[in-house]
């Protein structure tokens, strides 16, 4: 990935200071998604290492992970599986509690969404503390998934989330980094 492309994609992300609370800089990817060229290039770059490899399912984390995950699944000819906030999925689920950079919540996935040993890629827009993605990885492993990688547009390395994921054996791919929170 060229420096030029990274600069272009970074410029397509809108940064909003003190949202949703003082001290947080919200990295808003809606501007990147709304830019046809940036959206396409971001998805192309994310899938690049996995093209031609067997990927059975792409798992998106609600809600921004759904947008990217759908596009990535299509590109890799894989199925798409949603991880949702509790109470939204209609069939039998497994559930896990997790802490966010700003709050606590529970997420769940359909028990039968992934077959044992299926190769999956986990997708979200951003990794911060890693609380969300580590919980999602643990949830997926509970139902037998083989996690090939976790993909994000943005990594906030100062918060250590990518390192936590790698520590539990999940390879991490991200397109850009921002300093701080």
By the criterion CB under 6 A, which residues form the site for ligand AMP? 24-27, 61, 64, 100-101, 124-133, 161, 181
Q: Which of 84, 101, 119, 141 is catalytic?
A: 101
CB of 52 to ligand AMP, least distance (A): 29
Alpha carbon 28 to its chain's center: 14
Rounded distance, CA 80 to CA 74, Å? 8
CB-nearer residue toward ligand AMP: 26 or 80: 26
Q: Give the nearest distance from C-beta 54 to ligand AMP in angstroms.
A: 27
Residue whose CB is less far from ligand AMP, 50 or 152: 152
Q: Which is nearer to ligand AMP, 46 or 56 (CB)?
A: 46
Minimum distance from residue 12 beta carbon to ligand AMP (Å):
14
DSSP H helices in the chain = 3-11, 30-33, 36-47, 64-76, 131-142, 161-167
- Say if residues 75 and 48 touch (Cβ distance below 8 Å): no
Q: How many helices (H) and strands (E) does the chain have?
A: 6, 9
Q: Based on CB atoms, which residue is closest to ligand AMP, 144 or 180?
A: 180
CA distances from 113 to 107, 116, 120, 169, 174 (A): 14, 10, 11, 22, 25
- Minimum distance from residue 131 beta carbon to ligand AMP (Å): 4
Query: Can you spell out the DSSP letters for 102-133?
Result: TEEEEEEEETTSS-TT-EEEEEEEEESSSHHH
Q: Which of 64, 108, 118, 173 is catalytic?
A: 64
64 catalytically annotated? yes
**Which residues are marked as active site?**
64, 101
């Amino acid at each position: 990935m060229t420096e030029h492309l990274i600069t272009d994609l970074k410029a397509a992300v809108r940064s909003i200071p003190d949202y949703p609370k003082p001290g947080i800089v919200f990295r808003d990817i809606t501007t990147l998604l709304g830019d046809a060229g940036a959206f396409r290039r971001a998805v192309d770059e994310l899938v690049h290492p996995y093209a031609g490899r067997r990927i059975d399912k792409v798992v998106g984390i609600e809600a921004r992970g759904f947008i990217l995950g759908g596009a990535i699944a299509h590109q890799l000819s894989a199925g798409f599986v949603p991880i949702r906030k509790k109470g939204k999925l209609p069939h039998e689920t497994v559930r896990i509690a997790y802490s966010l950079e700003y709050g606590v919540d529970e997420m769940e996935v359909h028990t039968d969404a992934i077959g044992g040993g299926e190769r999956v890629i986990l997708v979200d827009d951003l990794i911060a503390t890693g609380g969300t993605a580590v919980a999602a990885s643990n949830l997926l492993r509970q139902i037998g998934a083989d996690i090939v990688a976790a993909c994000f547009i943005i990594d906030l390395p100062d918060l250590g989330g990518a390192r936590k994921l790698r520590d539990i054996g999940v390879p991490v791919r991200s397109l850009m980094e921002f300093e701080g929170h």
